[in-house]
Structure 1
Amino acid sequence: MRVEAEFTTEPFKGEGEPPEHATAALEAAREAGLECEFGPLGTSVRGERDAVLATLAAIAAAGLDHGADQITFQVRLEGRAAPRRTASGLDALLADVADELGGDLRTLDRPAKQRAVRVLEERGAFEFRKSAEIVAEALGVTRFTVYNYLNRERD
């Protein structure tokens, strides 16, 4: 039986190179021979159930050993879709927030973009699959920046 695990390591630290804890966790998965798709703040691994489950501890240890203070996992049978909300719903949320904040999200200054991310989070925008990427594009920033804004709100 094959499974897929998705994980994120935190804290998110702005733009630029992925944090060391994210790359160390990825390396642990690769060393175990798992199929990997790396996103600096969200990584997927796939393989036989026992191999994936056994590797999750190594992924967590690598992340924590390299500066992560939180690691979140989601595991499911391969081929089972993650719960998804429709992209059109996210588009509608982005349009609503843009209207409320006075127009094109890309033209907002940094504090207004931070507010937009806070409002989007309050309205559940980040429950959508690949939402950070879509929000980043709408704001004209990187995913790292979106995660940085989210992390700042939690502190």
Structure 2
Amino acid sequence: MTGPADHALAEAVKPLVDAMGGELLAPGEAREDDVVLSWEGEEVLAVRLPQLADSLDHILAAMERRHGMPLSELDRKTKQLVVRTLEARGAFSVRHGVETVAGALGVSRFTVYNYLNRENASRDTKTPAEGP
């Protein structure tokens, strides 16, 4: 008999669950805060989501893989792009998010706040016709 990890649904969601730092489980192992996924009316697997702070670490690791180098080695313009991406993903709503990101980028918290303020200021100066 095949287990939940062998199911097509598990195969499909595994890259996403791994990128988030989650864990695939059998439905019977699910706790109250886990997400149970069904396929054609049958519970097939459960996903245990990480704590938000752990998710930020996984997001940063994924960004390093995408850029092919430690984030601290990126140029300033690319670091600013990383900060914008992280802001869009809610990284700064996590406790100590700015500190965590600053450490990963090899910059000060002040620099991260400057990147955020610069982006917000440029967004505020655009006219509605210009768009994002």
TM-score (norm 2): 0.51
Deviation at 1:110, TM superposition (A): 0.5
**63, 66, 86: which is aligned to 2:52?**
86
Q: C-alpha separation between the residues in 2 aligned to 1:122 and 1:101?
A: 18
Deviation, 1:154, is 0.5
More strand by share: 1
Per-residue CA deviations over 1:53-110 (Å, capped at 9, x if unaligned) read xxxxxxxxxxxxxxxxxxxxxxxxxxxxxxxx53211101111222222320010010
Q: Which has a greater percent of helix?
A: 2
Supply the RMSD in Å over aligned alpha carbons.
1.2
1:139, CA displacement in angstroms?
Answer: 0.4
**Aligned amino acid, residue 64 of structure 2:** A
Corresponding residue for residue 117 of structure 2 = 151
What's 2:83 paired with? 117
Task: Report which of the two structures shows the higher radius of gyration computed on alpha carbons.
Answer: 2
CA–CA separation in structure 2 for the residues paired with 1:121 and 1:97: 13
Runs ≥4 in structure 1, deviation > 4 angstroms?
Answer: none
> Match for 1:142 among 82, 85, 108?
108
Structure 1 length normalisation: TM-score?
Answer: 0.44
**Whole-angstrom CA distance in 2 between matches of 1:142 and 1:123:** 20
- Once the two structures are TM-superposed, the CA of residue 129 in structure 1 deviates from its matched residue by 0.3
| Counterparts of 1:128 and 1:108, CA distance in 2 | 23
Per chain length, whose mean CA-contact separation is higher, i.e. which structure has more relative contact order (CA < 8 Å, sep 6+)? 1
Unaligned runs of 5+ in 2: 1-50, 122-132
2:68 to 73, 77, 102: 102
Identity of aligned residues (%): 55
State the distance in 2 between where 1:101 and 1:107 align. Answer: 10
Q: Number of residues paired by the alignment?
A: 71
Query: Structure 2 matches for 1:26-41, cutoff 5 A?
Result: none
